[in-house]
Amino acid sequence: MCGIVGIVGTTNVNQSLYDALTVLQHRGQDAAGIVTFENERFFLRKDNGLVKDVFRTRHMRRLVGNVGIGHVRYPTAGTSSSAEAQPFYVNSPYGITLAHNGNLTNTEELANDVFRSDLRHINTNSDSEVLLNVFAHELQKKGKLNPTSEDVFDAVRTVHRRSRGAYAAIAMITGYGIVGFRDPNGIRPACFGVRETPEGREYMIASESVALASQGFELIRDIAPGEAVYIETDGSLYTQQCAESPKLNPCIFEHVYFARPDSIIDNISVYKSRLRMGEALAGKIKREMPDHDIDVVIPIPDTSRTSALPLAYDLGVKFREGLIKNRYIGRTFIMPGQTMRKRSVRQKLNPIELEFQGKNVLLVDDSIVRGTTCQEIVQMVRDAGARKVYFASAAPPVRYPNVYGIDMPAARELIAHGRTEKEVEELIGADWLIYQDLDDLVACAREGNEAISEFDCSVFNGHYPTGDVTEEYLTRLEEERSEAKKNERNKELTADSDVIDIHNDE
């Protein structure tokens, strides 16, 4: 998962881009990058690390210009090399940079076409670089010194025809403006907004509305599936539907885990949807354990807190904060490497023993993916003196890998893959495990936008809305995403990454 942002302003946008990326930091902790342009030149800074670590004062001073884009990243298929930090750049035509959230499902085929037919070189293993080159090639075919909005939309139209998978992207065309576009299924989120200043009107495109709100931009709306939004450097705004058969199939896992609760995605309040998840889960607990002996409901911070509160209220049980989070440890789900994830759990959470001693505790989490964190936490709670440990997941069992930009591991690494709920219960060491029903989860999200006919629930039901995901593809993806493969690649790239970091600082 990644976060993207682009701004066309009236003054320098470097600070607003930086601040927006810090708000989107939850979408990726591996790398960050910003590119701006002024006087027909672009200025780029990107590297591994958090936003606050990648950008120092000396870097910010160089990022001049009233137009720019930014990106925060975590790797979905292999490495955490700074060579794959975004935005990516091609010099022809015009000089185009691109930031991308999602994952193409025909990357290999498309990369071959880009090389053999478009005569373009791909320098990394990133599908984002492939997407950039496809867009650049289609725009270059127009053969114009000054591209029009229609030229940009035609290029996006062909990108949709050639590319498959999930992508929300922002491209900066040096000297002309920025364009944001979303795949025809609208799997990954993107929205845009406006800000009035004494100097004039400014626009922002971003992954989540919270990035707009944090900088004083008013949300206009989400970018529709297949739509493109083009903003010229003078602030002129153009929008156009560029897909032949668009259909909104947004990723429901954004509401379960990834998005910030204060975001609005596709007209759905993430916060409200998570409240409804807690209410639905409480209803299921009442049905399956009407005479429950739960003494206290404790959320596993932070994402599950919103669902745990109404769950406790509906059950008539005390809600307590029994696990205290170390704010300086990142989100374990998106940390590269299983060893690092396991080691970080105890560093990340510390129990308040008084809330556990002699009690029957219901722990609530947003979801269970690998199960490693759950096992550690259940044992931690037992060690703190809990009599019984129950576990509730606000999401259904995650049984299938994600192919659209979320680094859910190979199927064999998913604890619920090929297992019953009872078997998962035994593996994590809980006295009782209860999952959300998929129909209830969908209803919780859809209540905010009844116009959505179908969500991307592929991680729960194995149905991939793009219709091109085969067993062969999943097998290849499993190889790419295996822990052993990632560790091997990261080890090989360590020396090269150090060299890149040094040159980048210079």
Whole-prediction pTM: 0.91
Handedness of CA 364, 456, 166, 416 (dihedral sign): positive
| Mean pLDDT, range 147-166, rounded to an integer | 98
CATH fold of 3-247: Glutamine Phosphoribosylpyrophosphate, subunit 1, domain 1 (3.60.20)
C-alpha pair distances (Å), 477 with each of 1, 108, 410, 468, 485: 16, 12, 7, 13, 11
312-333: pLDDT as tens digits: 999 999 999 999 988 776 555 4
Q: How confident is the model at residue 77 (pLDDT cuts 50, 70, 90)?
A: low
Give percent above pLDDT 90 in the chain: 83
Active site residue 242: no
Choice among 2, 191, 444, 457 that is catalytic: 2
pLDDT at 490: 54
**Predicted pLDDT of residue 327:** 77
Check pLDDT > 90 for residue 140: yes
Does the annotation list 30 as a binding residue? Answer: no
pLDDT exceeds cutoff 80 at 338 = no
Answer whether 459's CB lies under 8 Å from 370's CB.
no
Spatial contact of 89 and 130, defined as CB atoms under 8 Å apart? no
- Asked if pLDDT for residue 81 goes beyond 80, the answer is no
Residue type, 416: A
How far is Cα of residue 2 from the mean position of the Cα atoms in its chain?
Answer: 4
Question: DSSP string spanning 164-229?
Answer: -EEEEEEEEETTTEEEEEE-TT--S--EEEEEEETTEEEEEEESSHHHHHHTTPEEEEEPPTTEEE
pLDDT at 503: 35
Predicted pLDDT of residue 493: 45
Q: Which residue has the higher pLDDT, 303 or 229?
A: 229
- The topology under which CATH files domain 273-326+345-452 is Rossmann fold (3.40.50)
Q: Would you say the C-alpha torsion 377, 263, 188, 501 has a positive or negative sign?
A: negative
- Which range has the worst mean pLDDT, 110-119, 156-165, 268-277? 110-119
| In contact, 242 and 226? CB cutoff 8 Å | yes
pLDDT tens figures, 391-414:
999 999 999 999 999 888 789 999
- Model confidence pLDDT, tens digit, residues 15-32: 999 999 999 999 999 999
Quote the pLDDT of residue 485. Answer: 60
Percentage of residues of the chain with pLDDT beyond 70: 90
- What pLDDT sits at residue 488? 57
Is 466 marked within a binding site? no
Q: Are 99 and 170 in contact (CB under 8 A)?
A: yes
Q: What is the model's pLDDT at position 408?
A: 80
Q: Is 458's pLDDT higher than 60?
A: yes
Determine if residue 366 is labeled as part of a ligand binding site. Answer: yes
pLDDT given for residue 239 in this prediction: 98
- Position 328 scores a pLDDT of 76
Q: Quote the tokens at residue 30.
A: 């591996």
199, exposed or middle or buried, with CB in 10 Å at 0-12, 13-18, 19+? exposed
Sketch the domain layout of the chain as residue ranges: 3-247, 273-326+345-452
As separate numbers, helices (DSSP H) first and strands (DSSP E) second, the chain gives 17, 22
The mean pLDDT value of the chain amounts to 91
How many residues can be counted in the chain?
A: 506
The mean pLDDT value for 449-471 works out to: 95
**144 phi and psi angles, rounded to 5 deg:** -110, 145
